[in-house]
Structures are given as structure tokens and as C-alpha cells.
Amino acid sequence: MKYQSFLLKYAEIGTKGKNRYMFEDALMHQIREHLKKVDGEFAVQKEQGRIYVNALSEYDYDEVVEALRKVFGVTAICPMLQFPLCPYDELRAEILKFVKSEHPEQEFGFKVRCRRADKSYPKTSDEINADVGGDILDAYPECHVDVHDPDFMVYIEIRKMVNVYTTVIAGAGGMPIGTNGKAMLLLSGGIDSPVAGYMIAKRGVMLEAVYFHAPPYTSERAKQKVVDLAKQVATYSGAIKLHVINFTDIQLAIYEKCPHDELTIIMRRYMMRIAERLANANDCIGLITGESIGQVASQTLFSLRSTDEVCELPVYRPVIGFDKQEIINLSEKIGTFETSILPYEDCCTIFVAKHPVTKPNVHVIRSSERKLAEVIDEMVEKAVAEDEIIWC
Ligand code: ATP
Ligand code: MG
């Protein structure tokens, strides 16, 4: 085990004033949850605006870093050496030993930055910078100090303990899950909705999800794909309760009774209505979709207006202004892309009209929907009642 401890840095939650402790506690809770998924025992502690993870057993470094990189709210992960305050010559020797173990290469530019929270320590930060820098220069004849563009920094913090680190790994950023309520994600098997869920979760929002399934028109494999996507998003957001709604009867009724160029819009309106009902029943205070303006006929401003009007809850569409390539880049980054492009059809792709309306008029759409009046309420009730729940 190379590192006994990690220093985790966080940014935005440091600005929350009196509520700061709530954000820190939520962050510590999330860190513990993520560490449960890896082998080993860890203690997560908060101290003077710092969060430390201390390993209490052997662990796999890559696995732990991978887990910590998925915790929203963490901006940097610094594997470090931590030791009790000690006489100055011992402190310098410890630091040099650590730098040697971190950097077997001989030629590099470096910079030392010491911070002294414990002002009673008999040396100032500048003195420590100069002395430790001198020790490194002596030990590595080919290295040099580079204050502008160093290959690495040697960070030293003098607190109750001494922290030393030279590696800073970027964290996921954002806000800790659980600090911003819960929202219902409309999750299809496509590229966009998993990315949308990730983006909202990143702001501290807990996720629940709903998938509209239309067997036998959509296969078990299509459903499995959505489960897999939910699991992948859950590696960041924490466990997701996925509702699978059987949408077949509703879709067939729309297909039979409504104009075909309005199929997608009307179908989307029923998805939103059902999603809102599930949201209300499960303490979700918003809906999330992967819509992006103009991407397809059902996502023009006219279409979005007409899908929006059927629900009262706010609908969050975090990729609304993104180009497809930008969404793809994010989906590759978060690891959902390969699953999203598997070829299994979803219900939107089966019941699509050849020439869908791009400028639906809400009055026309409402009057088309009236043709469903006799059957639709019962169908919606049945679909909601038969909601299948899969924890992902
Ligand atoms: P995605 O890549 O997310 O599937 P898309 O480009 O295929 O999006 P649409 O099919 O128009 O776009 O769907 C728009 C949004 O509606 C999706 O991002 C998703 O939030 C929701 N949605 C569409 N189909 C389903 C479904 N079968 N189950 C749940 N949500 C869906
Ligand atoms: Mg889709």
C-alpha cells in the first residue's frame, strides 16, 4: 500500500456559509457510499475544511481512485503522505523520502509550496520551501526549480499532522448528491438521456428514472440496455430506482386514433404525464429529459412547448443547447456511449411517422388527443399500477 491517506478537495461547497457543514456531511456520506464498492476499509474524516480518507487495510489504488473520481462535490484527489509533527530535520527527511518514492525520474522542474496552519511551528513557510527545495536539488543533481511551469509541485501542509503530496487528480466536481432534492429522469436507450441524468445529478440532485417499454415491439434487450445505462449513471449518482412502464396499449391507441404525423408528440405528452405522476408519488420535484433544440421533429421549440404544457413540474433539459457531438463527447467521458449505441430499438423508433409535424399547434394536438378520451384514462391507470421497479 503506497499511500495511507488521501486528501480530498472541494470547491463550491466551501461557499455555503452557515449551511456549509450540511454540504460537507453530505459529501462525506457520498464518499463513504462510493468506497463501499471497493475492497478495503477506510475512515473518512473532516478536519478544518479538509476531508481525509485514511486506509485502514490493504486496497487497490486504481480502484479507489476510480471510485473517488465519481463522487460529485470532490474537485481533487491527492494521494499523500501524512505524519505527525516532528522535529525539523526529521520532517525534511520524511518529505525527501516521499518525493523520491513519487518521482524516480531524475530530470524535472519542481516547485515547493508550503502552507502552515499551525503557526507555532518554529519554521515559516518560506523557510520550509527553501530548505525542502534545497534537499531535493541536492538529491537530484539534474533537476531544477521551475516556479512558472513545474513538472510537479511538492505541496506541504503543516497542521496537527503534516500532509505532503505531489499528485493532484481531477475530481468530478459539482455538488454532493442529496443536497438538492430528487428528480425523475426520462431514460431511453439513447445517447442523450443518460448524459442529461448525469448532468443534473452532478448538481447534487438524486435521481429516479422511468423507461417506457413497448413489448413486443421493443425487445427485452432494449430494456436491458436501459437497465445497464441506469447502472452506469448510478456509479456517479448512487442507486437509481428505475420504473419500467408498459406503454404498448397507449402507443397502439395513439397509433389507431390520432393523425400519424402527430404520433411522436402525443406519445411524448403521455410519457410526460405518466412521468409526472410517478414523480409526484415518489417525492421527485422535477423531470429531466435528454432533449436538445432542433435535434429531431419532436424537439423543435414548437414541439417542446407542446410537450411542456402537459405537466406542472419543471422539466430540466440540461443538454438543450448542446450539439449532438458535444453530447457524444460527454457520454464517452462518463462511459455510457458504448451501451447507448447498441442497436436495440426503443419505442420512439418503431412508431415514428414518415413526416412528423415540426410545428405542432397545441390546439390541434389537444383536439387530436380528445379522440383517445374513451380509453386513455384507464390505460394510463393500468400502466402506472403495473409499474415494474428495478433498482439499478
Ligand atoms: P435519447 O438519446 O435520450 O434517447 P433522442 O434523441 O432519442 O434522445 P427522443 O426519442 O425524441 O430523443 O426523446 C427525447 C427524450 O424523451 C429523451 O432524451 C428521453 O428523456 C425521453 N424519452 C424518449 N423515449 C423514451 C422512453 N422510451 N422512455 C423514457 N424516456 C424516453
Ligand atoms: Mg431516444
Q: What is the pLDDT of residues 136-158, one digit of tens each?
A: 999 999 999 999 999 999 999 99
**Section 315-327 average pLDDT:** 98
Task: Tell me which of 185, 186, 346 to substitute to probe ligand 1's pocket, judged by most ligand atoms within 8 Å of the beta carbon.
Answer: 186
Pocket lined around ligand 1, Cβ cut-off 6 Å = 186-188, 190-193, 210-212, 271, 289-291, 295-296, 298-299, 346-348
Burial class (CB in 10 A: 0-12, 13-18, 19+), 308: middle
pLDDT value, residue 13: 62
Q: What is the mean pLDDT of the chain?
A: 94
Q: What is the pLDDT of residues 55-73, one digit of tens each?
A: 999 999 999 999 999 999 9
- Residues 6 or more apart whose Cβ sits within 8 Å of residue 77: 6, 7, 8, 9, 65, 68, 69, 168, 169, 170, 171
Of 279 and 350, more confident: 279
Q: What is the CA radius of gyration of the chain?
A: 27
Supply the residue whose CA is at minimum distance from atom 1 of ligand 1. Answer: 190
> What is the share, in percent, of the chain residues with pLDDT greater than 70?
97
pLDDT-wise least confident of 6-15, 153-162, 174-183: 6-15
Q: What is the pLDDT of residues 165-180, one digit of tens each?
A: 999 999 999 999 999 9
Inter-helix orientation angle 220-237/192-201, to 10°: 20
pTM: predicted TM-score of the whole model, two decimal places:
0.94
Q: What is d(CA 216, CA 267) in angstroms, rounded to the nearest whole number?
A: 17
pLDDT value, residue 188: 95
Supply the residue whose CA is at minimum distance from atom 2 of ligand 1. Answer: 190
pLDDT value, residue 121: 92
Separation of CA 186 and ligand 2 centre (Å): 10
Q: What is d(CA 306, CA 121) in angstroms, rounded to the nearest whole number?
A: 66
Task: Please identify, by atom number, the ligand 1 atom nearest to the C-alpha of residue 218.
Answer: 27
Peptide bond into 216 cis (omega under 30): yes
pLDDT value, residue 154: 98
Residue 212 CA: which ligand is closest? 1
Q: Which residues of 118-138 are buried (b: 16+ CB within 10 A; e: fewer)?
A: eeebebebeebbebbbebbee
Q: Which residues of 149-184 are buried (b: 16+ CB within 10 A; e: fewer)?
A: ebebebbbbbbeebbbbbbbeebbebbbbbbbebbb
pLDDT value, residue 336: 98
Q: What is the pLDDT of residues 110-126, one digit of tens each?
A: 999 999 988 899 999 99
Inter-helix orientation angle 301-308/263-281, to 10°: 40
Q: Which three cell numbers stand for residue 183?
A: 428528480
